[in-house]
C-alpha cells in the first residue's frame, strides 16, 4: 500500500509528511509525481497573499473523497513563518483525523523527540501551567491528558534548569561495548568478543581525549555540573581499566563536579564486588541497573544474557557499598509480555526501592535484529497492550510516590509511546533533564558521544558527534578533539 502526497508549494512535503505517516503507520508515503497508483491520494495546497493564508486539501482513497478549505489572517512579523507552518499542520491533522477517525494521536501535531521544549518556551515568557496546557490542546491538538502530563514534566524539570549555569558544562563519556547484543539494539559493533583487541585500543584513545578536553576545561576555569559515564555498558571494563579511567576523572573532572556523577551498569552481570568498591571510591552518586523486565523467559528471548537473580544481587552490592541513588529501567512492549507481566516486573523493582525508575517503550531501531525480523507498523494489538501497560505503570509509580521528571520520544516506538523517567522527591537526575532540554553545554567523549554547545542568549545549539564504531572513532580522534577544544574556548 502506498500513500501519495501532493503539496503546493512543493517544499511543504518535507514539513508535513511526518503527520501523514502517523495516520498511516507502516505504509509507504511518497511525493506525488503523477501517473503512479496509490491507495490514498492526499493533496495539500497553501497560498499566501499579504497577511491572508488560504489552505485547501483533500483525501481520496478510491471509494470516497473528503475535502476542506480554510482562511487565516497571519500578520507579518518575526514569527509569521512559524505560525503559517503551525496552521498548515493543524489543517492537515484535522483533515486526516476526519478521514481516519480510528487513529488516536495524543501528541497531535507534535512529532519531535522533545515535546516539552515548547512548554518551556512558554513558561519562559511567563505563561502559567493551566494556560500552557490549554494552548497545547488548542494550537497543537494535544490530548488533554497528554497536555497535562507534558506541563507536569516541564515544571519538574524547571527545578533543575534553575540551578544550571551556562558557564558550567556537563560531561558524557561513552563506552560503546556490551557483553552481548539485545534484539532491540541497533549497534552490532558493541559486542565484546576479544577484550584486548577491541576494548584496549579504544580505551587508550578515550583516555587521550579525556586528558585533552580536561586540560581545556581547567585552563578556562569551567566547572563540571553533571558527569555521566554511559554506553554500551561501561562496567564491562576490567577493574584495572576502570581505575585508569578513574585516575583521569579524579585529575580533571571530579574536583569541580557540582551535581551528580552517574555510571551506567545496565547489564548487572558486569558488576562484581571489586568494581562496586571502585565505583564507591570514585564518589559515584548514581548507578543505573537496567533489568528491562523481571521475567527470565523474556530476558532470554531478547538476548539480555543475565538473570533476574543477578539484577537483585547487583542492587544488593550497590546498596551495601553506600551508592546514594539507584535507577532501574523497564521496557513496555517486549515480545510476549502482557500488561500483567509489566506490572509484576515493576512491583518487583519497587521492592528494591530505587530512587529513579525509567519506563521505556520498545522501539524498532533501524539495524536491530528485531527490526530486521519485523517490518512495517506495529500490530494494533501490540500497541494497545503496550499503552495499557504504560498506563498501569504510571499509576503504580504515582501510588508509590514517584513523579515524572523528564520524557522523550523515539521513532518506531510501540503505540507511539514516550520514554519517561520517574523520581522520588528530591532525587531527580539532573543530567537527564539537561540532556533532553539542551540548556547547558554538554561535552561528549568516547564512542557515539555528542557535544552540544549552547548559546546562552538564543539557546541555539552547535552540535558535534563522535563516530559510534570504535575504529572510526580512533581514526577521527585528533580532528575531533581539536574542534572540541576550539569550541570550548569560544563559549561565552
What is the 3-state secondary structure of 78-93? CCHHHHHHHHHHHHHH
pLDDT digit string, tens, across residues 194-231: 999 999 999 999 999 999 999 999 999 999 999 999 99
With a pLDDT cut of 70, the percent of the chain lying above it is 99
Alpha-carbon distances, residue 50 vs 76, 90, 91 (angstroms): 8, 21, 20
- Burial of 291 by CB count in 10 Å (0-12 exposed, 13-18 middle, 19+ buried)? buried
pLDDT digit string, tens, across residues 29-80: 999 887 778 899 999 999 999 999 999 999 998 878 899 999 999 999 999 9
Poorest-pLDDT segment among 242-246, 414-418, 426-430: 414-418
Quick check: 406 and 346 in contact, CB under 8 A? no
CB atoms within 10 A of CB 379: 12
Where is pLDDT greater, at 427 or 374? 427
Report how far residue 122's alpha carbon sits from residue 125's, in angstroms, rounded to the nearest whole number: 5
Indicate the average pLDDT of the chain: 95
pLDDT at 34: 76
pLDDT at 474: 96
Q: Which residue's C-alpha cell is 557483553? A: 179
CATH topology of domain 1-103: Double Stranded RNA Binding Domain (3.30.160)
CB atoms within 10 A of CB 49: 7
pLDDT at 403: 98
Q: In which order are the strands placed within the sheet that holds 356-361? A: 403-409, 418-423, 356-361, 325-332, 286-288, 261-264, 224-231, 169-175, 442-446, 450-454, 461-465
pLDDT digit string, tens, across residues 165-195: 999 999 999 999 999 999 999 876 689 999 9
Residue 287 sits at the vertex; the CA angle it makes with 285 and 290, to the nearest 5 degrees, is 165
Q: Which residues does residue 4 pair with via DSSP β-bridges, in sequence order?
A: 30, 41
Going by the DSSP 8-state scheme, the letter that residue 191 receives in this structure is B
The CA-based dihedral angle spanning residues 451, 456, 457, 459, taken in that order and rounded to the nearest 10 degrees: 40
Report how far residue 358's alpha carbon sits from residue 423's, in angstroms, rounded to the nearest whole number: 9
Quick check: 92 and 19 in contact, CB under 8 A? yes
Give the mean pLDDT of 241-256.
97
Strands 261-264 and 224-231: parallel
- Spelled out in words, what is the top-level CATH class assigned to the domain 161-486? alpha beta
pLDDT digit string, tens, across residues 68-94: 999 999 999 999 999 999 999 999 999
Report how far residue 454's alpha carbon sits from residue 460's, in angstroms, rounded to the nearest whole number: 6
Residue 310 has pLDDT above 70, yes or no: yes
Q: CATH 3.80.30.20 occupies which residues in the chain?
A: 161-486
Residue 134 has pLDDT above 90, yes or no: yes
pLDDT at 159: 94
Biggest alpha carbon–alpha carbon distance for the chain:
71
Quick check: 285 and 260 in contact, CB under 8 A? yes
Q: CATH 3.30.160 occupies which residues in the chain?
A: 1-103
Residue 317 has pLDDT above 80, yes or no: yes
The C-alpha cell that represents 380 in the structure block:
494494533
pLDDT at 260: 97
pLDDT digit string, tens, across residues 441-483: 999 999 999 999 999 999 999 999 999 999 999 999 999 999 9
- pTM for the whole structure: 0.95
Residue 1 has pLDDT above 80, yes or no: no
Confidence of residue 405 (pLDDT cuts 50, 70, 90): very high
Quick check: 91 and 129 in contact, CB under 8 A? no
SS3 410: coil
Amino acid at each position: 500500500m502506498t500513500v501519495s502526497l501532493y503539496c503546493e508549494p512543493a517544499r511543504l512535503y518535507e514539513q508535513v509528511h511526518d503527520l501523514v505517516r502517523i495516520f498511516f503507520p507502516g505504509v509507504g508515503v511518497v511525493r506525488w509525481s503523477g501517473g503512479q497508483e496509490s491507495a490514498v491520494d492526499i493533496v495539500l495546497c497553501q497560498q499566501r497573499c499579504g497577511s491572508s493564508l488560504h489552505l485547501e486539501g483533500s483525501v481520496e482513497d478510491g471509494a470516497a473523497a473528503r475535502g476542506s478549505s480554510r482562511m487565516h489572517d497571519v500578520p507579518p512579523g518575526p514569527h509569521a513563518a512559524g505560525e503559517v507552518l503551525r496552521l498548515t499542520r493543524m489543517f492537515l491533522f484535522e483533515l486526516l483525523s476526519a478521514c481516519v477517525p480510528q487513529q488516536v494521536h495524543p501528541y497531535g501535531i507534535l512529532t519531535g523527540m522533545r515535546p516539552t521544549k515548547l512548554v518551556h518556551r512558554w513558561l519562559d515568557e511567563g505563561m502559567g501551567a493551566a494556560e500552557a496546557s490549554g494552548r497545547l490542546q488548542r494550537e497543537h491538538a494535544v490530548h488533554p491528558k497528554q497536555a497535562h502530563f507534558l506541563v507536569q514534566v516541564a515544571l519538574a524539570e524547571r527545578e533543575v534548569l534553575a540551578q544550571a549555569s551556562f558557564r558550567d558544562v556537563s560531561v558524557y563519556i561513552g563506552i560503546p561495548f556490551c557483553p552481548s547484543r539485545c534484539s532491540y539494539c541497533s549497534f552490532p559493533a558493541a559486542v565484546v568478543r576479544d577484550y584486548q583487541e577491541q576494548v584496549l585500543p579504544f580505551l587508550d584513545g578515550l583516555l587521550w581525549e579525556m586528558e585533552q578536553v580536561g586540560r581545556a576545561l581547567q585552563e578556562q576555569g569551567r566547572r563540571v555540573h553533571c558527569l555521566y559515564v554511559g554506553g554500551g555498558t561501561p562496567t564491562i571494563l576490567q577493574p584495572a581499566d576502570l581505575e585508569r579511567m578513574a585516575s583521569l576523572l579524579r585529575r580533571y573532572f571530579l574536583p569541580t563536579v557540582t551535581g551528580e556523577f552517574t555510571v551506567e551498569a545496565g547489564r548487572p552481570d558486569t558488576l562484581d564486588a571489586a568494581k562496586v568498591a571502585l565505583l564507591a571510591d570514585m564518589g559515584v552518586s548514581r548507578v543505573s541497573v537496567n533489568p528491562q523486565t523481571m521475567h527470565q523467559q523474556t530476558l532470554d528471548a531478547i538476548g539480555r544474557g543475565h538473570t533476574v537473580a543477578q539484577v537483585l544481587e547487583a542492587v544488593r552490592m550497590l546498596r551495601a557499598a553506600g551508592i546514594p541513588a539507584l535507577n532501574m529501567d523497564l521496557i513496555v512492549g517486549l515480545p510476549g509480555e502482557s500488561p500483567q507481566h509489566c506490572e509484576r516486573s515493576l512491583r518487583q523493582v519497587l521492592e528494591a526501592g530505587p530512587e529513579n525508575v525509567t519506563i521505556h517503550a520498545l522501539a524498532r531501531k533501524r539495524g536491530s535484529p528485531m527490526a530486521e525480523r519485523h517490518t512495517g507498523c506495529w500490530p494494533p494489538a501490540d500497541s494497545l497492550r503496550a499503552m495499557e501497560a504504560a498506563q498501569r505503570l504510571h499509576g503504580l509509580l504515582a501510588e508509590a510516590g514517584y513523579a515524572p521528571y523528564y520524557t522523550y520520544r523515539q521513532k518506531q516506538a510501540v503505540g507511539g509511546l514516550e520514554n519517561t523517567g520517574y523520581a522520588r522527591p528530591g532525587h531527580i537526575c539532573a543530567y537527564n533533564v539537561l540532556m533532553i532540554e539542551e540548556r547547558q553545554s554538554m561535552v561528549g567523549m568516547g564512542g557515539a558521544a555528542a557535544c552540544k554547545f549552547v548559546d546562552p542568549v538564543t539557546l541555539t545549539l552547535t552540535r558535534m558527534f563522535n563516530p559510534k564504531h570504535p575504529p572510526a572513532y580512533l581514526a577521527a580522534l585528533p580532528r575531533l578533539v581539536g574542534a572540541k577544544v576550539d569550541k570550548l574556548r569560544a563559549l561565552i
